[in-house]
Structure 1
Amino acid sequence: MKNLVKKGVVVLLITGVAAGCTSNPKPQAGGEAAGGGNAKPVTLTMWAGTGFKDIEGYDSKNYGDWEKQKAGEFQKLHPNVTVKVESVPFSDIEQKVNVAVAGNNPPDVLYDNIPIRISKHARNGVLEELDDVVKEDKADWKEAFLNMGTINGKLLALPLGSVPQVVFLNKTIFEKKGVSVPQDRSWTWNEMKDALKKVADKNTYGIAYFAKSEQADQLMVSNLLSAGAQWANKDFTQYTVNSPEGVEALTFMLSLQDEGLVAPGTATMDVNANFELFKQGKLAVLNHTSPVYGDLEVGKKNGAVDPSVEPFGIIPVVKEGVTPRITVTGENGYAIFKQNDSEKKKMAIEFVKFLTKPENIKAINKATYGIAARKSGTYEIQNKDASQLFEQLNKLEIVDLGKNRAYFSTLRQKFYPEMQAAFLKAKSPKQALDDFVKNANELAAKK
């Protein structure tokens, strides 16, 4: 998924009521807010590695603004608590946390990617269990999301939601060429190929693939599954994407490149460059994720997006006769590092419980066009195109890529070089996938 966090680190020290927050906490018995009176002072640190902005109802134009205001609201309810929020770029947070854990000085609360990053700390036994966060309303949490944060049988991380894969067509380009977009929001390989031949020209690329790094690699994986291949077996002891169906899918992608329908430079293109082409009106078909809807809306207002770009979302493109499936990303959420102070642990749990209230999960997922982790987090999609698309997406199977496997980060480093080799014609589709699967199965065997 594209980087949603600005470069640089912003430290936000919350010591009073956040600007823009006007609600007053409901007094507790004795006229004090919870935690008031002679309660022991508590200071919590929170590192947010993938923050939010433009949250409805909040002055949140910058990353960290929402967290700052939520911390301020929490402090009004608990006057003895001070919350220090640090917003850290996505590219920096993993290393920062690793160093802090090694030095026995991690943050109290962490917001980051769960299956790839937080799960590593969960396996190392340095996180608190979060059963107390969900015990009062566990039935409201979707089982798939609780499972996502459950490591070795313990709930150690709590996701807010995820964002699904979407194939975007620039409707303006298709209309100018007299090509209809699929009203059922689905395409087969041949239908897409025929359409790309009609819309691609010297000023417009048909579609773009990217293999510069592991970023957003789930989108490339999805393409490899479009002929019916399976990524791996159910227990991830064997990877199987080098099946004839997987080879056929990669061969199809390369055939589009050979016919001049793919933007040049797949081996050196990343997901952000891919999106830039679409924003500039130079790309007819974009492989990306649902937050693109919001990014385009904001971009049109600030001039970052060509005003002619009109997104039309469809489900993943597949070979004729194959049932579409989707991949998801953005499975981000909260974790609490081990606490020696019982009062601090109690307030950290209360803070995470506060952050994961239904109204907060709803607001965040609405801003990102995400799938909410709580049933009560369902929101009305105001964008008509997105609303119609989600009716289709919600019916599709979500592919489990085994992201919470201990070796998954290493596995990703083995994947994109093979995609580079295939698109550079240094390896055949079969050789590239065979080599990846060999490495993947060796990692799985080591566990």
Structure 2
Amino acid sequence: MRRFRLPIMSGLLAILLMATACSGQQGKGTGSEGNAGGDGDSKEKPVTITYWIDPRFQLIEGMEDETKNYGDYEKIQAQKFMDLHPHVTIDIQTLTWDDLPKKVPVAIAGGTPPDILRDYLGRTAQYAYEGVLENLEDLLPKEELDDYIQDYLDLYTIDGHLHALPAYAWAAGLVVNKELWSKKGKENLLPTPENPYWTIEQFDEAIQAIAEKNKVFPYAVQIAVPQGDQGILNLLWGFGAKLFKDGDYSKTALNSPEAVKALEYLVKLNDEGKLQPSAVTTQAGEIDTLMWQGQLGSVSDTLAVWARLNAAKEEGKTNGEHDLVMVHQPNDEGVSNGVPVGPTGFAVFKQDDEYKLKWVIEFLLYLNNTEHQQVYAKSAGQFPVKKSAGVPMKDDANYRVLQKIIEERGLEDMGVTHPKYAEFRVLLQPEIQAVLLKQKTPAQALEDYERAVNKILAK
């Protein structure tokens, strides 16, 4: 069983954040770009590649008119590849965030998975444990693998095999709409880029300054679906709670006095109307809408929120001014917690046609070349994983703040590469719902969670 190692991930980000661009290496390892649809392709037999994607990229810088919808950029990529190789047909399907954990397992069970899937490590790792993915270490050129930050390859190596090819990684802090505080002359209550940290007591004072009953909600956390777990965990870590302790995956460590205190605090915020309305059922899109309408003060999120805000502005879905800034999740006194991090990559499902596999790999290399990685990272507000991609957003102030937090506070363990991750991930959210609905006390919910998780881990 592969274990998530926090020191490796900390080293990973440290290396990543110090990486510098190597402009002469763009397109490294992409043999497809060296053949501009030459005579060699004219003799190739037709092949169709299915490529399933998450709804990640929209309004790409410099291509705004061409990329108004999710999937537009990937269709442009595919068309360029097909122009280079006319015998190849790329069939793209854009899945919603809700569909990703549902449709892919159904397709696998039915024997009709895509050829290439772009998705989060927490899900692709589970497909690796199921044995339905190609092992990539022997299918990719050595010079291609040498261009990756090694710790990412280590993270993607399960049972000795590279189960997918990493592309970019998110890290999450607390995104604050500073404009709400500025309008009241209270921006001095917020952390600064030079010192992005604050205590729970300072956070309380700050959110009290902008709270308006049924109008302005100072804090949101997504509780409706398991995909919002990073926000819930970010709050729990701020009080010193841990999902697992010191890499011990035999049992969860979440049932603790620190977690009880965190949930009691969450109940207090909800009772006072300082959480988003209908907190137990609010979807991610509804939380975004509250932010775009100037009704939300803060939410745990990634750098991708700025791209979503720009898209909302383009679509006329915003109201008023927005000044979003990245800070750290508030900490209880004496707590110094890190941040969650999660990479996305490309998984190749097992092929029984060697000829098709050759072209699937060729397309994979094209999708993950240096130029595309830079676009991915910049457009999604994430970190690239190739050395040659450098740090595309180094001039962005909020990017630098998140860098600072990572370097000074480190990372937290979400257990994403555990083989039972998909099973225990879904257990936290209903317990939080029960607490906010007053069906359980925080202590009861954590005891029930611990019992259910440990039963899974013991299998």
Cα distance in 2 for residues equivalent to 1:191 and 1:32: 61
3-state SS of 2:198 partner = coil
Q: What residue number does 1:45 align with?
A: 50
Cα distance in 1 for residues equivalent to 2:191 and 2:37: 60
Q: CA shift at 1:215, angstroms?
A: 2.5
Q: What residue number does 2:72 align with?
A: 65
Matches within 5 A, 1:7-406: 33=38, 35-58=40-63, 59-116=66-123, 118-131=124-137, 132-133=139-140, 135-179=142-186, 180=188, 181-183=190-192, 184-202=195-213, 203-233=215-245, 234-329=247-342, 331-381=343-393, 384-395=396-407, 396-406=409-419
Cα distance in 2 for residues equivalent to 1:26 and 1:362: 17
Cα distance in 1 for residues equivalent to 2:301 and 2:180: 18
3-state SS of 2:140 partner = helix
Q: CA shift at 1:384, angstroms?
A: 4.4
3-state SS of 1:86 partner = strand
Aligned pair in 2 of structure 1 residues 347, 198: CA closer, same or farther (>3 Å)? same
Q: CA shift at 1:207, angstroms?
A: 1.5
Unaligned runs of 5+ in 1: 1-24
Aligned pair in 2 of structure 1 residues 161, 134: CA closer, same or farther (>3 Å)? farther
Aligned pair in 2 of structure 1 residues 61, 141: CA closer, same or farther (>3 Å)? same
Cα distance in 2 for residues equivalent to 1:109 and 1:249: 40
Please list the CA deviations of residues 18-72 of structure 1 after superposition, one character each: whole Å capped at 9, or x if unmatched: xxxxxxx8776xx972742423332222222445222234422222222222122
Cα distance in 2 for residues equivalent to 1:296 and 1:305: 8
Q: CA shift at 1:415, angstroms?
A: 1.0
Which amino acid in the other structure matches residue 272 of structure 1? G
Asked whether 1:442 is paired with 2:420, we answer no
Across the aligned residues of Structure 1 and Structure 2, the Cα RMSD in angstroms comes to: 2.4
Identity of aligned residues (%): 32
Please list the CA deviations of residues 409-433 of structure 1 after superposition, one character each: whole Å capped at 9, or x if unmatched: 2212221111012122222222211
Q: CA shift at 1:106, angstroms?
A: 2.5
Cα distance in 1 for residues equivalent to 2:56 and 2:275: 33
Which amino acid in the other structure matches residue 121 of structure 2? I
Please list the CA deviations of residues 318-369 of structure 1 after superposition, one character each: whole Å capped at 9, or x if unmatched: 112211311134x322111222221211111111011111110110110011
Which amino acid in the other structure matches residue 48 of structure 1? I
Cα distance in 2 for residues equivalent to 1:56 and 1:199: 34
Q: CA shift at 1:260, angstroms?
A: 4.1
Q: What residue number does 2:11 align with?
A: none
Q: Which moved more, 1:335-344 or 1:43-52?
A: 43-52
Q: How many residues align?
A: 418
Aligned pair in 2 of structure 1 residues 385, 435: CA closer, same or farther (>3 Å)? same
Cα distance in 1 for residues equivalent to 2:56 and 2:369: 17
Q: What residue number does 2:9 align with?
A: none
- Is the 1:115–1:148 contact (alpha carbons within 8 Å) kept by the matching residues of 2? no
Q: CA shift at 1:107, angstroms?
A: 2.2
> Which structure's relative contact order is higher, taking Cα pairs within 8 Å and 6+ residues apart?
2
Please list the CA deviations of residues 292-333 of structure 1 after superposition, one character each: whole Å capped at 9, or x if unmatched: 11111232233212232211220121112211311134x322
Q: What residue number does 2:20 align with?
A: none
Cα distance in 1 for residues equivalent to 2:39 and 2:263: 58
Cα distance in 2 for residues equivalent to 1:409 and 1:75: 35
Q: CA shift at 1:273, angstroms?
A: 2.3
Q: Which moved more, 1:316-325 or 1:264-273?
A: 264-273
Cα distance in 1 for residues equivalent to 2:423 and 2:412: 20
Aligned pair in 2 of structure 1 residues 34, 374: CA closer, same or farther (>3 Å)? farther
Please list the CA deviations of residues 153-203 of structure 1 after superposition, one character each: whole Å capped at 9, or x if unmatched: 110111211222121222121122221122222211010001112221233
3-state SS of 2:99 partner = helix
Please list the CA deviations of residues 232-262 of structure 1 after superposition, one character each: whole Å capped at 9, or x if unmatched: 1314111011122222222222233344433
- Is the 1:26–1:33 contact (alpha carbons within 8 Å) kept by the matching residues of 2? no
Cα distance in 2 for residues equivalent to 1:204 and 1:219: 20
Please list the CA deviations of residues 358-406 of structure 1 after superposition, one character each: whole Å capped at 9, or x if unmatched: 1101101100111112222234438744244233234142222112223
- Is the 2:59–2:311 contact (alpha carbons within 8 Å) kept by the matching residues of 1? no
- Is the 1:42–1:80 contact (alpha carbons within 8 Å) kept by the matching residues of 2? yes
Q: CA shift at 1:135, angstroms?
A: 2.2
- Is the 2:179–2:323 contact (alpha carbons within 8 Å) kept by the matching residues of 1? yes
Q: CA shift at 1:212, angstroms?
A: 1.8
Cα distance in 1 for residues equivalent to 2:145 and 2:33: 24
Which amino acid in the other structure matches residue 354 of structure 2? S
Q: CA shift at 1:269, angstroms?
A: 2.3
- Is the 2:337–2:412 contact (alpha carbons within 8 Å) kept by the matching residues of 1? no
Cα distance in 2 for residues equivalent to 1:192 and 1:198: 10
Cα distance in 1 for residues equivalent to 2:227 and 2:37: 48
3-state SS of 2:143 partner = coil
Q: What residue number does 2:5 align with?
A: none
Q: What residue number does 1:14 align with?
A: none
Task: Report the TM-score, using the length of structure 2 for normalisation.
Answer: 0.84
3-state SS of 2:79 partner = helix
Aligned pair in 2 of structure 1 residues 100, 182: CA closer, same or farther (>3 Å)? closer
- Is the 2:383–2:391 contact (alpha carbons within 8 Å) kept by the matching residues of 1? no
Unaligned runs of 5+ in 2: 1-31
